[in-house]
Structure 1
Amino acid sequence: MKKTFILIPLLLLLVSTAAAQENVTVAEPEFIGEVLVVDENGSAELLEKQTVLVQTRMGAGVYLAGIGKAKTKILLDGAAAPTRLKSGDRFRFIIKAVDNKTDPMAIISIFSLKATKKNRSAEISSVSTFGSVKSNKLQYLPFTAAKHGESSYLITLKEQPAGEYGITVRNPNHEDEKQMIVSSFAIE
């Protein structure tokens, strides 16, 4: 009988220790919209944030013949994000929002950026003179999310393809946000 009482607490301790190793114990970022990347050892790094430039360009045909297409892109300075992650490594993101009551798919976007020698960009919409409008052309990375702390989400990517990426966090309480802030990282 005494052996049973000793074994049960020991088993509970082992199970809770294994579960604790799975949990992330990193504190939430300080400000809304900030993103931490956490590696499997629990080390955390704040991702670079930039206010993006929104640029709309029209093809030469629009100027010459009134026929063509206009594209709107977001631009980030620099050819590469300073935070470089390895594909296949186990890492997660902690993203602070206004609260963690909203479905994270509605407010968090993780999307691909095209890198050039000078900057990184993503096309957000295009419109042709014949009325064809294509908006939200971003290529998104799928993720799973769990609540973390009082107002953050713990994000795990479902896929880790190589490339440059951006993360945005929208505030569901504001209908007209004035600036787009993008946190960036890369997977090699």
Structure 2
Amino acid sequence: MNKILLSACLLVASFVNAQEVSEPEFVGETILLKIDNTTTPLEKELTQNRTVASTGLLLSGIGKVRSQVQIEGCCAEVKIGKNDDVKFIIRAVDNNTDPLSIIKVFKFEQKKKYRRAEMSATSNFGSSKSNNLDYISFSGKKYGESSYLIKLNSSELEPGEYGITISNPNSLDQKQTVISTFAVK
């Protein structure tokens, strides 16, 4: 009897692991793929754009103007451990583009009431630096018909708040930026 029960459990376990996780429903959605093949959708947040002048610029005329994105609220609900095997399934328009060119994973500066990330900075001496996000490297491959499976480099993950954006390489008319958020504890 025990052998039959054990065989049935092994059969059910192999069936569950053999099932493929389905792609997210909408373009831009991200789901966390856990080690046991269960999934958790990441929260989607709309951003606020901010432009901030440094104190030096205001007082002496020498300084920088920074462009930032901000999300209200201190913390993401989806939390992962620092040493977890971190994989995400991200739905795109299609999966014909190199994921490194359209998917961005970055760390936020965290405060009590918001999370912020610097997009660019310009000094009054004419120097400009764009693409200032604190990027996290990942490897990606095609998943399903129009998604990507990405694996983060866990050695780069420190405790904090993170965001994921995906752009549409086929469109010049980008809509409002939506960021999928998660936290590393």
Q: What is aligned with 1:54? A: 49
Is 2:49 the partner of 1:90? Answer: no
Q: What is aligned with 2:70? A: 75
Letter paired with 2:137: P
Q: CA deviation at 1:63?
A: 4.0
Pairing partner for 1:27 from 22, 28, 38: 22
Is 2:42 the partner of 1:40? Answer: no
Letter paired with 1:38: L
C-alpha change, 1:79 and 1:24, in structure 2 (3 Å) is farther
Aligned with 1:98: secondary structure? coil
TM-score, length of structure 1 as denominator length: 0.84
For 2:19 and 2:95, the matched residues in 1 are separated by 16
Letter paired with 2:182: F
Query: Is there any run of 5+ residues in structure 2 with no aligned partner, and where?
Result: 1-13
C-alpha change, 1:24 and 1:34, in structure 2 (3 Å) is farther
Number of paired residues?
169
Q: What is aligned with 2:179? A: 182
Following superposition of structure 1 onto structure 2, how do residues 130-141 of structure 1 map, counting pairs within 5 Å?
130-141=125-136
Letter paired with 1:118: K
Q: CA deviation at 1:107?
A: 0.3
For 2:153 and 2:52, the matched residues in 1 are separated by 34
For 2:119 and 2:161, the matched residues in 1 are separated by 16
Aligned with 2:134: secondary structure? coil
Letter paired with 2:82: S
Pairing partner for 2:162 from 162, 165, 169: 165
Q: CA deviation at 1:68?
A: 2.2
Query: Is there any run of 5+ residues in structure 1 with no aligned partner, and where?
Result: 1-16
% identical aligned pairs: 43
Q: What is aligned with 2:101? A: 106
- Higher Cα Rg, which structure: 1
Aligned with 1:72: secondary structure? strand
Q: Which string of whole-angstrom CA distances, capped at 9 and with x for unpartnered residues, describes residues 59-87 of structure 1?
A: 24434543321111100111111100011
C-alpha change, 1:155 and 1:24, in structure 2 (3 Å) is farther
For 2:125 and 2:89, the matched residues in 1 are separated by 43
Q: CA deviation at 1:92?
A: 1.0
Pairing partner for 1:125 from 120, 126, 138: 120
